[in-house]
Structure 1
């Protein structure tokens, strides 16, 4: 009598059931099988989400990329190694146990009478469980009275309730004999876990010709522990690979980023005006070529800046020399025009208009020369502050009184507001702003003084039509004329520019805007103490200037 062990090529069938190892059975061709079921979805490696982390450092990005590549490679290699070893371990264990169980069923259970007693089944089950594979055995048959009897090698650890219903059904299902199936019954198996999480292998078959049905139960806990140790080893290897990759990435980043860092430092020095900055170039790679390109660019830039500086210096020297050369004859011409102006009333009425025109144009030319000299000082960087404690209300009153503007200007300033400023330059600023408001805006001009923290605010507002929107961005440009049809106005177009430069040298600012109530508003903001703006180079008196200018120019 033969055990129905599906001897069609020596293979076995596996039943669907939860499998803690997710192993795939290797069945030779020609064997019946039942598809293995899953206890859940197969889960891949956990994705690490870097949320809210701003990787602004190139070095950090390189280390992270190297780490991710190494982690992916290590996890992939470890996963493949674990899966292959797991398959090998489980397949070898289950094949050895099933082969032994199959032989025991053929040799021992097959030798039992067709209707054995319960004692026969228990004795046979005990002998079968004593094999080298150490599994529990459960034999089920019918005694001579036709009753179902059960023989168990270990009643406490293995009963029929431990055998899945699907496996029982498959084992007891009779299959028709055909060309591809020579046995009515087959050997089936499946892996499962108990409530404690211990994995087991359950197999079953029955003896041909009405013999008993046998089931075996083998613990896979030793294999599970070995696989757990393997998983820990692979995890440690993955961690070491990740650390090694991070160290290699750090070394590679240092090698790659050192030239980039040097290039960044050189670019900053170049931006600070150190045009003689050059990089030391070695090698023939892309970074070396980039360094050579930087050196060529810096060299060309240095040549062009030197050429432009030379031209600017020549132009500035020309303007300064021209202003000085004009000043001497203008002094004589001014004296003559003053005499002519005093005698204008006694001159021939035909000559008087010409004399007054000469006087006016001479004054205008004198103002232009003074302004050009002042602009030249600002451009050359030789303008210096001569600081003194100034009462702002007294300073504005003196400026207005000197130019006979008392009837046209409304002053709103509290007495006692003082500031440490350059009184001469402040007078130039005020004269330009108030004179510009009287000339182009119309009286009354309101001058308001307020203190804003450590700053001093002086607002000059006129009651004219205001400044056209297209002109506002250019009111402080040199020689700018609001109307191209009036190129010969009384002003030179330098007054507001000089006023702005005087504000800047104090560390202040001037802004222009139109008032909502009509008219233009110029706001002068100055620090109440401009001492921090004073520079005293060695051997040079900070308060000494070769020339001084004052007056109104617009």
Structure 2
């Protein structure tokens, strides 16, 4: 038996493209990639150029003035140039028409006189003579060409030079033939056809006799040259004028812009704190008056600021001195009050109540003096930090423990939401504990009997604690006023905790001393939330907070997405007072 085998077209490698096609496809791909990169680079360069020009346009008064002057002057000169060219062109054409009609009238008179003196049999020879004589009158410059055309068929026309009879428009011929007046002139514009091309021209014609018509063709090349010369000269003058106006605008605006820039620089230096900055006064014009007024304003401002600084220094010194001086008599009164308070059980009920009131007011007086001393230290820049590494969760638990009795008296539950992992940061334990205790006490005081939520969180660079209540909340703008000294949201509201009105101010100063933030959020009827944010490392710049300023439920209500970190915190654990992770 004979074995046979079939071969698939293309052989064993038919499923793969030939090696040459692979190389060509690779080259096209590289070329396409190169073109794409070039296009993107050009697009970025164009965007950068447009952005740079736009920025320069917005920031440079001089550029806007010069550019506007160029645009307006260019538009005005273009309009004036257009009308000027129209007037020049009309004047040249009118003069050419008058001269053409005069020359044609003279030639027509001569031709009529020749035809009247000739016999009918000699008509062809006389037409040749008329054409030759009239063509000779145009001179060597070729002022015009003469064409005599028959009005009826069967006759031949005559033309001087190499001009074609087709140069006369058919429409004009119809007007001339249909004219009832023998010597009435018609004129119009046409293309003069010669053996070597065409040129624009003016044609004038009239009836020479009942059988013939006389036409003059006037080339307009001289007028075109004059128009080109005028147009070129006008463009040159207009360009020079625009550049001159731009230069004038540049010089004029420079005289105004430079003093304005100097005034702006002086104002920037003055606003940055350089109270000795003054402008140079040159001349007696409006800019000089501006400089004088600026210098007077700067001088008055410097005097007022110095007066305020001196007054502030006196006030700070007064508060510090009074606070220190009051501690001595307060210590004596405190000792006497403590003796009376220890023996209050031996006194009658009325005296015992008086001794208890004296003890509570002495404690409030001591808190007020301590707050005044702390404020005076911050004002004097003498406040310092005893930084150590600590877990912010421990600080929260200590502050909640300090407010435990107040929460129990008010029947309020403090809910803790602390992360399972430690949130270690470098901070002054005493000051941070004071901040948190103040925030929690304030929240309990304004919670209207509802729960208070304390949340802590941390990320790579910062830690934060948020204290949330569901009380009366804050009105618009009060989130900043609440940190002012002795400010109260409701002056008519009775104080039950005996606060001094300086707690939030001191807390704000303590947070700033750590390089952190103390911020407030509130809505009427929705409660308030205070957020303390601290950098993990002392002295580092705080760029963000692990907790949102607005409560999560309010953020969701505004259409915002709840951060994943906040969701994890809320789901970690939630307990009552004293709970631990």
TM-score by length of 1: 0.74
1:421 aligns with 2:424: no
Secondary structure, aligned partner of 2:426 = strand
**Please, which moves more after superposition, 339-348 or 254-263?**
339-348
**Structure with the largest fraction of helix:** 2
> In the TM superposition, what are the counterparts of 1:458-469 in structure 2 within 5 Å?
458-462=465-469, 465-467=471-473, 469=475
Q: 2:134 matched to which residue of 1?
A: 128
Mapping of residues 137-536 of structure 1, within 5 Å:
137-141=146-150, 149-153=155-159, 157-159=163-165, 162-166=168-172, 168-169=174-175, 172-174=178-180, 185-193=183-191, 198-207=199-208, 210=210, 212-402=212-402, 404=404, 409-414=414-419, 415-441=421-447, 442=449, 444-451=451-458, 454-462=461-469, 465-467=471-473, 469=475, 472-473=478-479, 474-486=481-493, 490-505=498-513, 506-514=515-523, 519-532=527-540
Which residue of 2 is the match for residue 7 of structure 1?
Answer: none
Q: Secondary structure at the match of 1:149?
A: coil
SS state of the match for residue 350, structure 1? helix
**2: CA distance, partners of 1:276 / 1:185:** 95
CA distance in 2, matches of 1:120, 1:151: 13
2:573 matched residue in structure 1: none
| Structure 1: gaps spanning 5 or more residues | 1-51, 176-183, 535-554
In 1, Cα distance between the equivalents of 2:477 and 2:353? 34
**Higher relative contact order (Cα pairs below 8 Å, separated by 6+ residues):** 1
Q: 1:515 & 1:294 partners in 2: Cα distance? A: 45
Matched residues in 2 for 1:410 and 1:342: separation? 37
Q: CA deviation at 1:358?
A: 0.9
Check the 8 A contact 1:137/1:154 in 2, yes or no: yes
Deviates more, 1:349-358 or 1:150-159: 150-159
* Aligned mates of 2:243, 2:465 — CA distance in 1: 65
Q: Any idea what the Cα deviations from partners look like across 1:330-388, whole Å, max 9, x if unmatched?
A: 23333443443333334443321111111100110111111112222333344344433
Counterpart-to-counterpart distance in 2, 1:454 and 1:254: 50
Q: Deviations over 1:425-447 (max 9, x none)?
A: 21121010011122332464321
> RMSD of aligned C-alpha atoms?
3.5
Gapped runs of 5+ residues in structure 2?
1-53, 543-581
Q: Residues 82-101 of structure 1: matches in 2 within 5 Å?
A: 82-101=85-104
Q: In terms of mean alpha carbon deviation, does 376-385 or 360-369 score higher? A: 376-385
Tell me how far apart the structure 2 counterparts of residues 74 and 84 of structure 1 sit (CA, whole Å).
15
Q: Give the deviation of 1:225 after TM superposition.
A: 3.3
SS at match of 2:483: coil
Aligned to 2:566: none
Structure 1 residues 533, 330: CA separation in 2 closer, same or farther (over 3 Å shift)? farther
User: Distance between the aligned counterparts of 2:170 and 2:450, measured in 1?
Assistant: 108
> In structure 2, do the counterparts of structure 1 residues 257 and 111 end up closer, same or farther at CA, with 3 Å as the change threshold?
same
Shift of 1:120: 4.3
Rounded Cα–Cα distance in structure 1 between residues aligned with 2:508 and 2:516: 10
Could you tell which deviates more after superposition, 212-221 or 188-197?
188-197
Tell me the distance in 2 between the aligned counterparts of 1:270 and 1:499. 32
| Aligned twin of 1:61 | 64
Name the CA distance, whole Å, in 1 between partners of 2:402 and 2:415.
15
Name the CA distance, whole Å, in 2 between partners of 1:269 and 1:309: 19
